[in-house]
Structure 1
Amino acid sequence: MIRTTEMNKVTEFQQNGFITLENIYTKEEINQILALIESVESDKPTFRKSADVFAIRQFIKELPEIKDLIFNEKLKATIKEFGGNEYFVIKSIYFDKPETSNWFVSYHQDLTISVDKKQEIKNFTSWTTKHNQSAVQPPLDILQNIFTIRIHLDKTDENNGALKVIPASHRKGFYRPENINWDEENETVCNVEQGGVMLMKPLLLHSSSRTTNNKRRRVVHIEFSDIDLPENLNWAEKELVELG
């Protein structure tokens, strides 16, 4: 979908399920973030390293010093504008897709949340446990409440793994990739400059291609919500942010 002058940014985000914003971070801020990441030992269970990807799960928990760098005034204003004053972090991941990565991800929705423990709750399904971390698919209304901010530490385009999305697919509820009707749907590539961010809804169908231009794609992925989970179930990474 094309942005129109009549459609403000928040409305565009709600309708399309994604939006890109530039100049959230300066070059100096990006360099400070990268320097801190590169100073971390990578032998913890929450770290994943291979030829195709390096990832730090529970990123803010593992690197609490990063919080002040990530949540600058522009990002806090973005959270307030697109979410609200009550939104908090529920998941954070750092991804580094190396220059020669053959890692690709086919079209999917983000259907699971990270929680503190496994327990039987109505309409919470598909439980998994990896690296002592429980994940579950919650009811639709919880997923609809979440939004994600992807902070781009490198310029990203279709040649080094920029996300491809199907606009407005988040408004169709659970949408299986094999049911995509390409006669009706359109694909958009979300190019983002270094220091920019992409906001997206987890139910938005999205994918990522292999790297073909020998350039890295480093991204900080942070998910937000403003609701608590039922029956003493808790977000695994709940992190409050002082939005001012």
Structure 2
Amino acid sequence: MTEQYLDNHKKVVLKNGFTVIDSVFTDDEIKKIIEVIQNADTSAENFRKSDDLFAVRQFLKEVPEIKSLVFNGNVKAIIRELFGEKYFVVKSIYFDKPETSNWYVAYHQDLTISVDKKLKMQGFGPWTTKKNQFAVQPPLPVLENIYTIRIHLDDTDENNGALKVVPGSHAKGIYRPETIDWNVETEEICKVEKGGIMIMKPLTLHGSNRTTDGRRRRVIHIEFSDMELPEELNWSERIN
């Protein structure tokens, strides 16, 4: 991956709010990642298991041996060239939507961050608390600063719930889905091959349709920032 190649993707992300980069992981690397996940101890409360979803919150902390596999040379180069030298992990999730899963996710922006405690702070709110995990909507500059990498462990297209996005919507601040003017906006389906990644700004309006062909979709979702939070507040999952 040359600097020119990655610089082109950086320009696309800044313009559209997302980009797809194929062949970031080899088939062998994906196989090893899947093996580590399958062998993980799933008894902790951050593991969620149901008929239509298997998910792990604070994924990199719960499955620490995955880190060396996820952050291969390509991913490190992508973070350095597209985000910057000072970016660090602030959130990580793994989810597996199996063949029986048929979720529909309406258009939305990712408007909250995960933090270590709840504080009264100007510009931060509303708050939510779930199993001693705190989430809050921060001021807009914090959200604008975040990048998300979605690592795809399966081929994903319009038939098995690939993300659909509104290009350029990340640059319009808080954008309520009910106000989308489809005379102005366009929709794009983000096909990602197994071993590829999607990079997205969390303010990009995104959603997904129901699966129609019964193929599973496994994704590792990691968010990055280079901003320190004010006062006593800390990112709950910070990993340098």
Q: What TM-score bracket applies, with the shorter chain setting the length?
A: over 0.9
Identical-residue share of aligned pairs (%): 60
Distance in 1 between residues matched to 2:45 and 2:114, nearest whole Å: 16
Which SS does the other structure have where 2:102 is aligned? coil
Letter in 1 for 2:216: R
Tell whether 2:156 aligns with 1:179: no
Shift of residue 41, structure 1, vs aligned partner: 2.5
How many matched pairs? Answer: 235
Aligned counterparts, 1:168-207, within 5 A:
168-207=168-207
Aligned counterparts, 1:1-244, within 5 A:
8-240=8-240
Structure 1 portions without partners, runs of 5+: none
Q: Does the 8 Å CA contact 1:88/1:224 hold for their aligned counterparts? A: yes
Letter in 1 for 2:69: L
Shift of residue 100, structure 1, vs aligned partner: 1.8
Residues 109-149 of structure 1 show CA distances to partners (whole Å, capped at 9, x for unaligned) of 00000000000010001100011100000000000000000
Residues 13-71 of structure 1 show CA distances to partners (whole Å, capped at 9, x for unaligned) of 10100000000000000000000000012222111111221100000000100000000
Distance in 2 between residues matched to 1:76 and 1:155, nearest whole Å: 22
Shift of residue 231, structure 1, vs aligned partner: 0.7
Distance in 1 between residues matched to 2:205 and 2:47, nearest whole Å: 26
Structure 2 portions without partners, runs of 5+: none
Letter in 1 for 2:141: D
Which is helix-richer, 1 or 2?
2
Which SS does the other structure have where 1:36 is aligned? helix
Letter in 2 for 1:167: P
Please report the RMSD computed on the Cα atoms of aligned residues, expressed in angstroms.
1.1
TM-score, normalised with respect to structure 1: 0.94
* Runs of 4+ residues over 4 Å off in structure 1: none
Residues 84-124 of structure 1 show CA distances to partners (whole Å, capped at 9, x for unaligned) of 11100000000101112121210000000000000001000
Distance in 2 between residues matched to 1:144 and 1:189, nearest whole Å: 22
